[in-house]
Amino acid sequence: MTAPTQKKLPQMKPAETKPPETKTLDQLRAKHAWDRIQEVVRVGFEDKNGKKVLTKEGKEFGTQVKKLPTRIIAAGLGQALAFLEAKESAPALHRALTDWIEQRRPADGGEDRTLLIRLIRGNADFQRYATAECLAYLVWLVRFADACKLTDSVQEG
């Protein structure tokens, strides 16, 4: 009796083309939020005797980013942004939210792109959309602000 011969399976070639990278909406939020936090970190710390000390602008950003979701839920997005504007508090935060919403839902041709103005002039559908999207985006912004210690006064160098 002879041993059965094994057939060799043909070798599979690796895929020649990569499928296009698709990101989830949550991944896009996270990337945008991380980029904005990194911008704040670049200008939000200064060296003092070997320690990185949070500047007034960096601390204000961290404080306001943590408080903003509660303000939005309590008073609405328009009121919360108006508060930031009135106090001239954390302009980078308002810019980050404006930029994110502008990417997701661009303003019409000659329309003012500032989120607060768009909320005032927009319809109820836009207000609901912007509120929900800002709250979802702020989850990442708060998380990264905490991770980068934007709410602490001293960071070990």
Cα-to-chain-centroid distance, residue 148 = 14
pLDDT digits (tens, 9 = 90+) for 120-129: 999 999 999 9
Provide the CATH number for the domain around residue 50.
1.10.520.30
Helical H runs in 7-110?
25-44, 56-75, 77-86, 91-104
How many independent structural domains does the chain possess?
A: 1
pLDDT value at residue 27: 96
Q: What is the mean pLDDT of the chain?
A: 86
Asked whether residue 20 is domain-assigned, the answer is no
- The domain in which residue 125 lies consists of 25-154
Asked whether residue 55 is domain-assigned, the answer is yes
What stretch of H or E contains 129? helix 124-147
pLDDT digits (tens, 9 = 90+) for 18-59: 666 789 999 999 999 999 999 998 887 777 777 777 888 888
Asked whether residue 9 is domain-assigned, the answer is no
